[in-house]
Amino acid sequence: MRVYVGSLGCKLNQSEMDSLAGQLAQGGHQIVATPGEAELCVLNTCAVTHVAAQKSRQALRHLHRENPAARLIATGCYAALSPTDLRDLPGVALVVGNRGKDRLAELIGTGAADPVPGSWRPAPHLRTRAFVKIQDGCDNACTYCVIHLARGAQRSRPPDEVVAEVQARLAAGYREIVLTGVHIGAYGHDRGPGSPDLWALVTRLLAETDVPRLRLSSIEPWDLPEWAFRLWADPRLCRHLHLPLQSGCDATLQRMNRRYTTARFAALISAARAAIPGLAVTGDLIVGFPGETEAEFAESLAFVQAVGFARLHIFPYSPRPGTPAATMPHQVPSSLKEERARAMRQVAAISSRAFRQQFIGQTMEVLWESCRPGDAGPVWSGLTDNYLRIYTTSLADLSNTLTPTRLITLAGDGLHGQIER
């Protein structure tokens, strides 16, 4: 069968669909690049905000318009939280929540739903970086978040299984492995006392594989002990920490049920930067959380400015059904949330530019990912280990190669570089 696999939202969603595509290819199906070629389309949906839920519905409608003859399967967080919303959409033949997602290959009709660990093989059209899921679910109770309702309790994959998948991805040609999950910092906590934690897993992957690059996805600030910084002595561990801040105001953090203060967050960032030169610190932030006053927003804005993130994802607060924050008093009007988001993005853009500026003139290794036409020839796009987006013009096929590149000038959201021969 010809199958198109798509994903919205987080890297975890992407990881799950990459794995599904590999299983389906292993079971004899053909993975196609566009929905128009498919007999079956699978979409991993997102519901982290109301906008994400809306985009999930729109994406399913788009798939049906692109290929009315194809059957559609909706899975993921939106499918888990609001299955009836999706069942009524045109073309949707099946809605599978997160709990049934691991059985998708079996439901589609291949015998590879439970492949032997390490037997994963790539399907066509996958990305240069491999996203490897190490855990699922979350035991936190952040008052704004619906993901723990959609994904359930924390549960970790066995370390041997993770190592085997990483080795298989490397054997398939991937040059960078990204460890992902809902709450990767809690890895191993559900497996009992003495079980390997995230840092033991990272240590093992660096010791037992020849991974050129190992990157961590989002990690909560309370899960990052300062002693772990020594692991970055291995240059294969990417100098990039994505730490969800959510607010730069202690009063707001308390209402969010976040387990740190701004002082603790700032001290952690300072220690990390001292231990890991060139470190990129990226994050997430919510504006307009219920009860956020002008003074609280000003405090948050000043804190973000002081931290100086390399990149910051900013979201106007979105009430999610079933969460405590959705019924909190003093909900902030949408127009004010958008105004605050614009102000926060301006501050974040300045700090992002300042971070990129400091690397002009340096030579760094870039992993090239994609290419688009340009006036002077093909323009390639890739990433440094510390998450700088680099562009260069080259007639050579740079896809999935690591090359030393001299960074010359700022260019849009990244820098323009020149490959050094």
- Sequential DSSP letters for 211-253: -SEEEE----GGG--GGGGGGGGSTTB-SEEE---B-S-HHHH
Domain 1-126 carries which CATH code?
Answer: 3.40.50.12160
Average pLDDT of the residues of the chain: 94
Decide if pLDDT at 120 tops 70: no
Q: Does domain 127-231 have CATH number 3.30.750.210?
A: yes
What are the residue ranges spanned by the domains of the chain? 1-126, 127-231, 239-358, 363-419
Decide if pLDDT at 110 tops 70: no
Instruction: Give the pLDDT confidence of 235-271 residue by residue, as tens digits.
Output: 999 999 999 999 999 999 999 999 999 999 999 999 9
Give the E-state strand segments of 332-373 in sequence order: 363-372
Residue with tokens 């959380």: 289
What's the pLDDT at 421? 77
What's the pLDDT at 124? 47
3 state DSSP class of 314: strand
List Cα–Cα distances, 100 to 19, 47, 104, 113, 122, in angstroms. 15, 17, 7, 11, 22
What's the pLDDT at 109? 82
| Segment 306-326 mean pLDDT | 97
Q: Does domain 239-358 have CATH number 3.30.750.200?
A: yes
CA angle 242, 228, 139 (to 5 degrees): 60
The CA dihedral of 230, 234, 235, 240, to the nearest 10 degrees, is -40
| Segment 375-385 mean pLDDT | 95
Q: Do the first three CATH levels of 1-126 and 127-231 match, i.e. the same topology? A: no
What's the pLDDT at 39? 95
- Tell me the whole-structure pTM to 2 decimals: 0.92
Decide if pLDDT at 121 tops 70: no
Q: Which residues contact 220 (CB under 8 A, 6 or more apart)?
A: 140, 183, 185, 243, 244, 259
Tokens for 222?
Answer: 């309370």
Decide if pLDDT at 126 tops 80: no
What's the pLDDT at 274? 98
What's the pLDDT at 346? 98
Decide if pLDDT at 7 tops 70: yes
Q: What is the Cα–Cα distance from 420 to 352, expressed in whole angstroms?
A: 25
